[in-house]
A and B are shown apart, each in its own frame.
Chain A
Amino acid sequence: MTISKIWVHAEASDAKVATITLEMLAKARELADTVECFYAGPEADAIAATLGAHGATTVRSTGDLGGGFPGVHLSAAVAAAVATESPDLVMFGTTYDGRDVAARLSVKLDRPLLSNNTDVEVDGDSIVASTQIFGGTQIVKTKFAAGPPAIALFRPKSFVAEESGGGAAEVAELAVPDSGAAGAAKILDRHAEETSGPKLDEAAIVVSGGRGLGEASNYQMIEDLAKALKAAPGASRAIVDAGWVPYAYQVGQTGKVVKPTVYIAAGISGATQHMVGMKGSKNIVAINKDPEAPIFGIADLGIIGDVHKVLPKLLEALQNRT
């Protein structure tokens, strides 16, 4: 079998297409002749050129949902369109809305949904998705066996975004059926949190702290070090759950996937949940007082030592250089 048509969930904010959308488009183009996007939001015209340049011929847009959630409304619209358009594969990024839309679509079409995929291929007559388990130590390949369309969620940074030189995607209307009571949840207001410095999932250097910092106030060492290195500060789930830093800082299975040039893990033992989010980094430096910490098994440079002693000296040395 060859795949003839793939649909990709397009997401954007401030007229900028999400990186994960472009990553999926690169993979979709490799697998299928026809690649189309679907999108919920007011910016279809603004993003059509970028989507087209990355290989999408069409973007099917619901337009502004007026505070309604994409999960319920976009899934209903896509489910209705699938009946006539027959995509072989529908791709979603592992994002807040991507998960919602994919989940509801799988129910509406009564098709399985595979999560956390890092690759997809055609194998004989089937579409096969790959997932990493046990902290990325094993790769599971799973065949979609329920007929088209295959529905799959992909982890960020699984593919490399690349332009194909196509013209702007054609904007087509995607009708939104009435979802009745299920469509009653509304977004009333949006809050953007202040951030400074590079974004966690785009930074060339990431400095993350974990439970080994001892207490919340010591996270300042991570912030200071990040500033000195023009890096983004990150965190393990343990200290996010403990309330030391906001969820937006979290690197791992839940949280951000990062692949910086350098990842510095300070006081992080290396729970599988964390490793999945950072083991793709080009270089890993770990500082931990426990010589048995799993993080040392993947670190290019491991320092067995107390973060409270190593970090201040490191910071001082870096500040003296500039």
Chain B
Amino acid sequence: MNVVVCVKQIPDPADPGALNEDHTLKREGKLILDESDSYGVEMALQLVDKAGGGEVTLVSMAPNNETSGLRTALAMGAAKAILVSDDGLKGSGALDTAKVLAAAIKRVEGADLVLAATESSDGYTGTVPEQIAALLDLPSITFAKHVEAADGTVKVQRQTELGFDECESPLPALVTVTAGVVEPRYPSFKGIMAAKSKPLDQVSVADLGLESSSVGFAGSGQEIIDVSPAPERQAGEVIEDDGEGFQKIVDFLDGLKVL
């Protein structure tokens, strides 16, 4: 079983985000593997293990030939990676990002399953995986909280508003996994050392056969016209608990007449 996992390398979510003058997100510092993607990587490794053969390929799009997040996922056990890095991708939206990733996935031979997180932790459009499925003409099941694959079929429990749905799809297919679907492993020292020499294929937009006008600022079909501060919510009273802090809360709720 061969699994492709879409992974994103993002600025550390613990750092306050900032925008460049062209309204793109500042990504100058070291980028890390989006934690949301560690679940997909782990799920892929387990599925390949269970199938008794095959490998996990990572696909990522990032500026400045960034590979540190990919190395983390390779250290977890993925076999190889494709990185699309190209200055022409600056300003890409969800749809053109999906076009790039779909084109990169096509380079992976014999992929049975494509996995992705439900959304990234920095851009969080939540639409790229399903757009990839549409571009590759694959069936898809989103928001998986449980995944099994056997005999050319993937069985998924899909999160819903009311609970979950039991779903299945023939392979090849695309599945998005929710956080918590599996417990991601920590890379071992051996894994970290091995990751340094695993194949990492760096490609450009032209290598993928895409027109430069179909991606980035030129191809995103959208234009940011304004960024302004949101009306701020004012902080109220903050007090140190002296053992009677609970009474403050009771009085506050009383004042609102909600008790």
Contact = CB atoms under 8 A, between A and B. Distances in A.
Do A and B make up one complex? Answer: yes
Interface of A: 13, 69, 71-72, 75, 94-96, 99-100, 102-104, 106-108, 110-116, 123, 128, 132-134, 136-146, 153, 180-193, 204-205, 229, 237, 240-243, 247-248, 253-254, 261-262, 264, 271-273, 279, 283, 285, 287, 291, 296-306, 309-311, 313-314, 317-318, 321
A112 B94 contact: yes
Interface in B181-223: 220-223
A180 B170 CA distance: 12
Nearest to A128: B225
B164 A112 contact: no
Given A72-B139, A96-B161, A134-B16, 8 more contacts: A139-B230, A141-B227, A153-B126, A181-B137, A185-B140, A247-B178, A279-B233, A305-B241
B124 A116 contact: yes
Chain A contact surface mostly: mixed
B139 A247 contact: no
Interface residues of B, number: 80
**Majority SS at the chain B contact face:** mixed
Contact of A190 (B142, B162, B243): B162
Interface stretch (B1-9, B64-72, B247-255): B247-255
Interface string B166-186: 111110010000111000000
Enumerate the 3 nearest inter-chain pairs by beta-carbon distance, A residue then B residue, closest first: A305-B241, A146-B221, A103-B130
A217 B167 CA distance: 32
A287 B1 CA distance: 48
A170 B85 CA distance: 50
Nearest to B143: A96
A143 B23 CA distance: 13
Given A103-B134, A104-B130, A300-B236, A13 B162 contact: yes
A182 B237 contact: no
A314 B249 contact: yes
B249 A141 contact: no
B134 A303 contact: no
Contacts of B225: 123, 128, 141-143
A296 B235 contact: yes
